[in-house]
Structure 1
């Protein structure tokens, strides 16, 4: 596995409330997390940092014991739930931080499978066979409107309530996590990102960068593309490439 990431404050925000962590084990299993904090001055940055730190702790302890789909899902849910507890508990300690929360998208990539989970509108994509496909479904009001047929995908892209999410980590005592998996092959790339990328860079643009750029410069190029398109939010890109065993 190869890993590379880039985060940027963007062109308009006062601070970067995105956070990410990733790692690789000796057996080449990799794990990765991206969080996008919410709560403004009340603690969006604190929420995302707490969440990624707790999820890293859970993954470092638990990933060596992942050997199948069931154990992968159990660990992904445990990581999200423990992060939710950490953020919620901290938020309740201080009236100034109550209501803070964060999105989360995380993954475990092992041998020929990628297991992933998410809460909110941070996304996971898979680049396979020269095609980039979105794996996750946004937990957002606009996504629900699209699924109800009330608006089109094109209208969703510029909808005034685009940033209103229906699920977040840390805003309540419990959290509902979506988990899934997909087979991967050598050459495939898993992309985790905050909406600072997906709201400003099209899937065709991301696909083109992954096709043309070197792996270790692709994250930088995607962030640059988001900045050039306005960069009105924090931007985080994390890439995990599945390598052939001989590499």
Structure 2
């Protein structure tokens, strides 16, 4: 039987007045969510909370395939809810980047949109399993810069996909196997702005699950904390 432990934290940071991030941990269902809202006060926080509220309503005891489909439907439902709220408010931009992870048996699935990320530490080596939906991501894919360099680009915050933005939401999905000793990190960009691959690899390799989320949070705060910061770390035994 696969044993999962997790650690999670979200923080407003040092500059913003409102935390527009929302996180959700459902260990019984083995589902974790980080949502990074945009739209300002009463906009971004509404969007991110709408996403996690929708996922939180997924019924218990579903078969794996049904639960995966329910997770996708929940995010799509949140998209519809946010669009309706935008119309009610008379327009504007309200949305949320999101990354989700679900574990079933010896496998995981991840749905995401925007620039929230999923990393995996395996055998002491870190890999970014998602790929940002952003303007600078296109430069990375073209070989013009690295992900770490992209964080310093003037348009690093310009995302091209989000829940609640555009008529149709396109979610990306990845699936893979899990192994004992794996450590997964879900985060908003408030962390990876200050923590490049090498720092993340070293930190994730050296901190116990009880303190790892706070350790990563403090890296972002010490770096400036200019954005909201959300971190979920999931360990597989």
Counterpart CA distance in 1 for 2:113 and 2:206 is 31
Match for residue 201 of structure 2 among 189, 203, 207: 207
Closer, same or farther in 2 for the Cα pair 1:78/1:128, shift >3 Å?
Answer: same
Structure 1 stretches lacking a partner, 5+ long:
none
1:65 partner SS: coil
Paired position in structure 2 for 1:220: 214
Measured in 2, the distance between the counterparts of 1:50 and 1:176 equals 17
Question: Are 2:57 and 1:54 aligned?
Answer: no
TM-aligned CA deviation for residue 193 of structure 1:
0.3
Question: What is the TM-score when the length of structure 1 is the normalising length?
Answer: 0.89
CA distance in 2, matches of 1:129, 1:111: 20
Counterpart for residue 184 of structure 2: 190
2:171, 2:63 → 1: CA distance? 18
CA offset digits 1:93-123 (Å, max 9, x no partner) = 112x632000010011122111101000000
- Give TM-score, length-normalised by structure 2: 0.92
CA distance in 2, matches of 1:182, 1:55: 21
Quick one: distance in 1 between partners of 2:67 and 2:115? 21
Give 3-state SS (helix, strand or coil) of 1:125's partner.
Answer: strand
Task: Tell me the residue number matched to 2:77.
Answer: 82
Deviations 1:42-62 (A, max 9, x none): 61111111111112213xx1x
- The number of residues matched between the two structures is 233
Q: Which of residues 63, 66, 72 in structure 2 aligns to 1:66?
A: 63
Q: Select the residue among 140, 145, 148 that pairs with 1:152.
A: 145
Q: Is the 8 A contact 1:72 1:115 kept in 2?
A: no
Q: CA deviation at 1:172?
A: 2.7
Q: Tell me by how many angstroms 1:20 deviates.
A: 0.5
Give, in angstroms, the shift of residue 83 of structure 1: 1.4
Where does residue 44 of structure 2 map in the other structure?
44
**What residue is the counterpart of 2:88 in the other structure?**
93
Do the aligned residues in 2 keep the contact of 1:31 with 1:108 (CA within 8 Å)? yes
Q: Paired residue for 2:171?
A: 177
Matching of residue 161 in structure 1 with residue 155 in structure 2: yes
